[in-house]
Amino acid sequence: MIPDIASSTKEQRLAYIRETFRCRNDCDSCGLCRVFRGQEPMIVFADYIEGKRTFQEIAKGYRH
C-alpha cells in the first residue's frame, strides 16, 4: 500500500520508493528505466518523498 503523505513520515515514503522501484538488474524484463524515461525513481518521486505532491500526481505524468 502506498503511504499517504498526510499520515506517513519522509522515511516511510523513502523506504516505499526504494523497495518498490529497486533496480532488478534485468533491464530486458523490468522496464522501469523506460517508464521513467531514464530518470532515477528517487529523483522522479522526490516531491512525494518530501511530502509536496502525492504519489498518484507524479505517477500520472508517466503513464502512457
State how far the Cα of 31 lies from the Cα of 13, in Å rounded to an integer: 22
Looking at residue 11, the DSSP 8-state letter turns out to be H
Per-residue confidence (pLDDT) for residue 36, from 0 to 100: 85
In a domain, 2, yes or no: no
Q: What is the pTM of this model?
A: 0.86
Query: How many folded domains does the chain comprise?
Result: 1
With 70 as the cut, is the pLDDT of residue 64 above it? no
In-domain check, residue 26: yes
Q: Is 3 in contact with 12 (CB distance < 8 Å)?
A: yes
Distance CA 54, CA 32 (A): 19
Task: Tell me the per-residue pLDDT of 31-49, one tens digit each, with 9 for 90 and over.
Answer: 888 888 888 999 999 999 9
Domain region containing 49:
10-60
- From 48, 1, 47, 34, select the one nearest 20 (Cα to Cα): 1
Residue 3 covered by a domain: no
